[in-house]
Structure 1
Amino acid sequence: MKEILYIQAGPSANHVGTHFWNAQESYFTYGEDEDPTVFHDRSFREGVTSKVTLEGGVVEYRQDPIPKSAYQARLEAGESDELEDKDVTTDTSNVRFWSDYSRVYYHPRSFQKLPDLAEWERAEGEWNASKETFEKHEHEHDIMDDDVRFFIEECDGLQGVQLLSDCGSFGGFTDAFITAFRDEHPKIPSLAFALLSSASNILVHADEEQNAMKAINDALCMRSIEAMSTISVPLQHPSTWQRKEWLEGLNVDLRSQYHTSALLATHIESATLPLRLKRSQHDIASLSSMLNASGTLGISHLAGRYPVPSAVVWSRETERRLYDLSAITEASAKSGNTRAAEYARLHVSRGFNASEYAPYEDYFDARSPAPFSIHATPYPTPTSFPHISTSPSEKHRALSALTTSSATAPLLASYATLVQSCADRRADVIVRMGMEFDEMRELKDDLWALCDRYAGPDEEWKGEEDVLSEDEET
């Protein structure tokens, strides 16, 4: 059945994942003559009831219940047809947790609680994925525990794993999980979306300790995920998104996780739709072959536009509104090229009319490389989706893309430059993170090597010569 095992780790991942699963739930059809457009059993296991009986004894803990959100209360009251009221889903103050707008019943074994951080680790902030935190996940918690194996063993023909993880607060878990998974299942493909920290797209100096820690942690996660995943997709933190043309047609609050996670989920769900679409033959392995034909370029970028106006005329100007959610935009780049060299591209359009296919294809087929395009059904916007589109008639129209290009090189170079600076200066941040200077130099070398893989034909990326400390010179 080509099932997909989904792993979400971290608060931001759970917000994005909630919108993703609400969209999956909206694909269900209930009429005898309705034919679903996707294979539901690739993402959902067969359910019995909303209350599942678990084997074994039960240890009960009681605490004051958290009041239901207005949305959840009305949903459970059976008012699903009336939930378009803006007072339920538009006001971000109504959303406290991702569960406030969840529409899906989850299997009880879907949720895993990791051990609490020690008090000294909390003092550094949840984003501090120090070496001790990595070791904590490796030694105090069986990452590939029985619950994960339970879902893997239920699959008849697992096509792979789709991972969505916060690098900031769950970097250690992500590193340990993906390493353990690859040890047990070396041949199963994986698609990993890495949610970078707020320091991922800014000029960070080695002396700016907090931001340097965040950025180094991002670099560690990216290196690990790239090495262990078939495809990895870094995603910039919403605080770094540029307020440009791509936000036209949207009334979005970039400070609201409820809003920004909906945008991310729209493009993640659409770009991965071919893995679930009935009329598509693609799986994670074939998607990887399309995006990474050489076998050496496993990092892809996610880009897109939502909503797409119904009167759009495709040109270089309108293409600029396909915003790259992975690329670095503010840090200085060493390349003089203003346009990235593209190696592969997958497009998934949602809600386009048949009359729009020809002009769309005329424009993009002339590109090199021409994208592999899939025209699909409108994007589902359940009542849990925030009312951010200023044109309700266009809220189901989207264009999402996965690309492999030289745009990855500046992103990797920004991390490599920081790590190299920290190592050369023997910065205190390295000690604070519990790392060795040799580990930082190894990370720096790995990042520069990755950077060179993605460089365009006229680009050259290299680090500065290492500066030896007085101890090393003697």
Structure 2
Amino acid sequence: MREIVTIQVGEFANFVGSHFWNFQDELLGLASDPESDPIFRNHNLDMDVLYRSGETQQGVATYTPRLVSVNFKGSLGSMSSRGTLYNEGSSSRSDSSKTWCGDVDTQRSEPRKRNLFLQSLYEEEVKVGKEKATEIEDKDIVGCLDEGVECWTDFSKSHYHPQSLYELSGLWMDSQDFNNYGIGKDVFYEASRGEEICDRLRFFVEECDHIQGIKFLVDDSGGFSAVAADFLENIADEYTNIPVLLYSVRSPMSQMNPRSSKKTVSNKLHDAISLLDSPSFCKASKFLNLGDEKLYRSSAVYAAALHSSTIPFRMQPTSSDSSEVSNSMDVNTLVQLLTGRGRQNMVTILDSAMPAPTLAGKQLENTLLTDLQALTPEVSEDVEDNQAIESMCILGALSSEDKEASVSEVKNAVDASYEQAITKTKPLFCTLSVSRCPLPVPLPFPSIFGNLVGRKGEILSSPVSDSLYRGSLDVHSIPVAARWRSSSAILPFLERRMGNLEKLGIQWGAMGSDVVRTWGFGREELQEMRENMSKMVSELSPQFLESSDSD
């Protein structure tokens, strides 16, 4: 067993995680359904990598994600912080109130009502009412979610372990006020929060036989970037030999133009210090209609890329004919691959194609390489870097509109794409992992597909309907490609942040010097950050690469 523990920190990270776990839940359901497509019943993925087996105090068997989720108090909506499987009662008063002899004033709010989707899950589990089998009901559920999602739990299919869901109490602020690195500084260690969070992580890590890594998602748009930084530092100290894959995610709403110059300076310094940013989805795919203002919709694209890029970590050993999957690897192998030749582990680009194009037919002008778009912002296009390293994963590729491609067909198509790419230098080293199992589209997935996307995610030559939005009732699965890149294409991203840190935070009389001081950063700390960025930039610059080759 090569387990992975997942961590989700912040609001948008949990939105992404909710979609991700919905994908896994859908895979589990399709694998056990005798009427489902054989490609799902034989997906050759080891789900135990992400899940743990257990049982409740009543002896009921459970199968829950190996997950630690961190978010604001009250962010769970109608879900209990103990999840939905373990319903042991808990006191409504804290232990400290029991030693108080005076009057106690208890204020309670009405529990949030389940939406139509959650009601249907509840009725299905307790077998109340009629069986849910009508298309009209499914349409009502889809419509309810597209219009009314407020919390990440509003569309979550998964059950969670009581150790998984942690709410940050005692902050006395909402997400709009928790909006910069400085305001989140020290939150992790205050009021024993860090100790409690680490205990939850330790619960999952210590029950692993041979943990291969930690998958860490953080919404870095505000104070959670500082919470994540302290959490990551603690992980590095306690779990020295466990690699961590850090996924930075940020909702498009966080990129809205601030109304004051002071806020602009604060935002730029926040980005420079956290070294993370959000992508623009305008190029994510011409076959998607996202509506960036909704977290529920935009987070689905991240989740699809997250699912696809982590598939190699849970591929089961292939048989001699390698007919279903190809080239499994563990987290450490990927980390060593991408950080080779002295490159830093914080400058990796993640690309995605959703849906991935068919390998042949009327869409030949779209290849697997040309359709891949960076989810990492501000990267150069068509950069010449003969030292680039890539790791690609392709799921459920179609050889034509109605036929699944074999592993060998996908490999040949990727090789042909590199040969045809006149403007792109072939990377120094590239690995390819292939799974014939596509990404299943569960019922609570948002209606983000355009009318050129077919039932199996195939790209059609003409619109299939008048509607610009198609969802889970129309598209049942999609082929997806994801690619990790260690490339000098990331230089604009790094150079902008290094320049902002120097201009706004370090120079004498800088506009943001007071801001970073209130965040707890001294001049020497900022200079050290700049030196680290400068080193990363120099190691990725063409001059450095040429000199290292001559050595």
Matched, 1:250 2:288: yes
Q: Secondary structure at the match of 1:258?
A: helix
Q: Secondary structure at the match of 1:99?
A: helix
Contact 1:199 1:211 in 2 (8 A): no
Which amino acid counterpart does residue 40 of structure 1 have in structure 2?
Answer: M
When residues 18 and 126 of structure 1 are mapped into structure 2, their CA distance, relative to the original with a 3 A threshold, is same
Question: Which residue identity is paired with 2:246?
Answer: A
Alignment of 1:429 with 2:515, yes or no, is: yes
Which residue is 2:431 aligned to?
372
**How far, CA to CA, are the matches of 2:253 and 2:155 in structure 1?**
28
Partner of 1:305: 353
2:341 pairs with 1:282: no
Tell me, yes or no, if structure 1 residue 213 matches structure 2 residue 280. no
Moved more, 13-22 or 389-398: 389-398
Give 1:410's aligned residue: 492
**Distance in 2 between residues matched to 1:454 and 1:80, nearest whole Å:** 56
Q: RMSD of the TM alignment (CA)?
A: 3.2
* Counterpart-to-counterpart distance in 1, 2:534 and 2:179: 24
Deviation at 1:108, TM superposition (A): 1.1
Partner SS for 1:112: strand
Match of 2:66 in 1: none
Q: Distance in 2 between matches of 1:203 and 1:325?
A: 20
Q: Is the 8 A contact 1:72 1:100 kept in 2?
A: yes
Unaligned runs of 5+ residues in structure 1 are 223-233, 461-474
Q: Cα distance, 1:402 vs. partner?
A: 0.9
> Which residue number corresponds to residue 86 of structure 2?
52
Contact 1:19-1:265 within 8 A present in 2 as well: yes
Distance 1:429 1:363, change over 3 A: same
SS at match of 2:542: coil
After TM superposition, give the deviation of residue 268 of structure 1 in Å. 1.0
Paired letter, 2:203: F
TM-score (structure 1 length as normaliser):
0.82
Structure 2: unaligned runs, 5 residues or longer: 61-83, 94-107, 125-130, 318-326, 398-403, 421-425, 458-476, 547-551
Q: Does 1:444 align with 2:508?
A: no
- C-alpha contact 2:390 2:484 (8 A) present in aligned 1: yes
The whole-number CA distance in structure 2 between the counterparts of 1:312 and 1:21 is 34
What is the distance in 2 between the residues matched to 1:200 and 1:301? 20
Alignment of 1:129-140 (within 5 A): 129-130=181-182, 133-140=184-191
- Corresponding residue number in structure 1 for 2:141: 88
1:270-298 superposed Cα distances (whole Å, 9 cap, x missing partner): 01110112245411101112222225331
Q: 2:369 aligns with which of 319, 324, 332?
A: 319
CA offset digits 1:82-118 (Å, max 9, x no partner): 5784442356322121111100000011011224325
250 and 102 in structure 1: CA distance in 2 versus 1, 3 angstrom threshold: same
Aligned partners of 1:387 and 1:123: how far apart in 2? Answer: 26
SS of the equivalent of 1:108 reads: coil
**8 Å contact kept, 1:314–1:363:** no
Matched length: 433
**Contact 1:301-1:325 at 8 Å conserved across structures:** yes
User: What's the counterpart of residue 244 of structure 2?
Assistant: 190
Equivalent position of 2:15 in the other structure = 15
Which one of the candidate residues 424, 432, 445 is aligned to 1:385?
445
Q: Partner of 1:27: helix, strand, or coil?
A: helix
| Letter in structure 1 aligned against 2:293 | R
SS at match of 1:303: strand
If you compute each CA radius of gyration, which structure gives the higher value, 1 or 2? 2
Query: 297, 307, 314: which is aligned to 1:259?
Result: 297
Q: Classify the secondary structure of the residue corresponding to 2:86.
A: coil
Q: Which amino acid aligns with 2:32?
A: Y
Alignment check: 8 A CA contact 2:15 2:299 kept: yes
Distance in 2, Cα, partners of 1:323 & 1:171: 25
C-alpha distance in 2, partners of 1:444/1:45? 42
User: What SS is found at the alignment partner of 1:103?
Assistant: coil
Q: 1:201: how far off? A: 8.0
Percent of aligned pairs with the same amino acid:
24
Alpha-carbon contact 1:71-1:88 (below 8 Å) kept? yes
2:163 alignment partner, SS class: helix
Q: Hey, what's the Cα distance between the residues in 2 that align with 1:284 and 1:365? A: 29
Name the TM-score, length of structure 2 as normaliser. 0.71
Q: Which residue of 1 aligns with 2:114?
A: 68
